[in-house]
Amino acid sequence: MPSAPAVTAGALDVASVLAFVAIGRAHDDHGVSLAGMAVTSWPFLAGLAAGWVAVRAWRRPLEVVPTAVAVWLSCVGVGMVLRVVAGQGTAVAFIAVALAFLALELLGWRLLARVGTRLSAGRR
């Protein structure tokens, strides 16, 4: 059975991808329908899952290096490859935005968690 930190990390990673997709779809006036979200998010969610498996992220889900970096790069890299295979767009600007936004999200929440953990440990 996965640990509570691993389940939480997985949920936050999925939420990060879904936030990226929802914001992107809203910004591009594609709408945030369930079907549209599914079409746009599945390549990135598959890339996210591939990254989790590749580095066994459940073992150290809060580690930024190498766990989060590998998960982030897999999410974007595999996601973009799958978008090409599926006939979806991969403009250079889109790749740059995906790299930046998902870095902020997938690395960022882990960095904040580490800071919070250190701060709470310092109060004891």
Q: Tell me the pTM.
A: 0.93
Whole-number pLDDT of residue 56: 98
**What's the average model confidence in pLDDT over 52-58?**
98
- Identify the three-state secondary structure at position 100: helix
- Model confidence at 30: pLDDT above 70: yes
Burial 106-122 (b: 16+ CB within 10 A, else e): bbebbeebeeeeeeeee
Which tens digits make up the pLDDT trace of 73-124? Answer: 999 999 999 999 999 989 999 999 999 999 999 999 999 999 988 888 877 6
DSSP SS3 for 32? coil
Q: What is the dihedral of CA 27, 106, 11, 2, to 10 degrees?
A: 160
Instruction: List all residues 6 or more positions away from 111 whose beta carbon is below 8 Å from its beta carbon.
Output: 64
What is the spatial distance between Cα 94 and Cα 6, in angstroms, rounded to a whole number? 29
Q: Calculate what percentage of the chain has a pLDDT beyond 90.
A: 85
Which amino acid, residue 108? G
Q: What is the mean pLDDT of residues 22-32?
A: 88
Residue 124: per-residue pLDDT:
63
- What does the pLDDT average to over 26-36? 87
pLDDT of residue 13: 98
